Chains A and B, each alone.
Chain A
């Protein structure tokens, strides 16, 4: 009963490439979030969206952009991938605000 789906579990891309990470939720949630997870740093918020076509910067938005054209889909874009963007990327959604996040399984992205 997977409710938040991330398109890739593992991804290897080259430096300078434009990279798209996709996230789809089937719970009709208003809010969607992109976090990156690094050892010792926890989960850091990149971008979030509380409505279709709306987006807000998180704590570390540099080098990233997002797109939310439909309620169920939230895409993270690495404009020009760099090695310091190698990380685990987690998508989450919630019905309202910070309550009851449902996370995806994560995408482990390696930039070479």
Chain B
């Protein structure tokens, strides 16, 4: 089955700096890669996703890049703000009906004001 590894496990950045989280996956048939954000005491929520026919996707201050050959994808947050402090999870899936997400171990991001 799919295995997703996520690094780093914790990340501390100064407000205004950029944050990068990296994930690798094992199943070459995976073609859907979402990112979830979980604020303290709250449920995970989808913030951005990318499919394998796209190399990069942006949404305001967040972007995701995908390298299918190397089987890794990354989340980039620019101009970090205190409200970006949360745990971020990457995930991978084959993307068809009947399939499920396999999550990475999570990255705790702390943005220091």
Binding site for B on A (CB under 8 A): 4, 30-31, 33, 35, 39-45, 48, 50, 58-59, 90, 96-101, 103-106
Task: Tell me, yes or no, whether B89 is within 8 Å of chain A by CB.
Answer: yes
Closest to A35 in B: B103
Question: Can you report 18 A-B residue pairs in the complex whose CB atoms are below 8 A from each other?
Answer: A31-B98, A35-B103, A40-B9, A40-B106, A41-B105, A42-B4, A42-B103, A42-B104, A43-B103, A45-B100, A50-B97, A58-B100, A59-B1, A90-B44, A98-B100, A99-B49, A100-B46, A101-B101
Size range of the chain B interface in the assembly: 20 to 34
Contact B99 A98 (CB under 8 A): yes
Contact B97 A96 (CB under 8 A): yes
- Chain B interface SS verdict (over half): loop
- Chain A interface SS verdict (over half): loop
User: Shortest Cβ distance from B95 into chain A, in angstroms?
Assistant: 6
Contact A106 B89 (CB under 8 A): no
User: Shortest Cβ distance from B40 into chain A, in angstroms?
Assistant: 12
- CA of A31 to CA of B94, assembled, Å: 15
- CA of A48 to CA of B89, assembled, Å: 19
Closest to A44 in B: B103
Contact B100 A105 (CB under 8 A): no
Contact A42 B46 (CB under 8 A): no
- CA of A59 to CA of B101, assembled, Å: 11
Contact B93 A42 (CB under 8 A): no
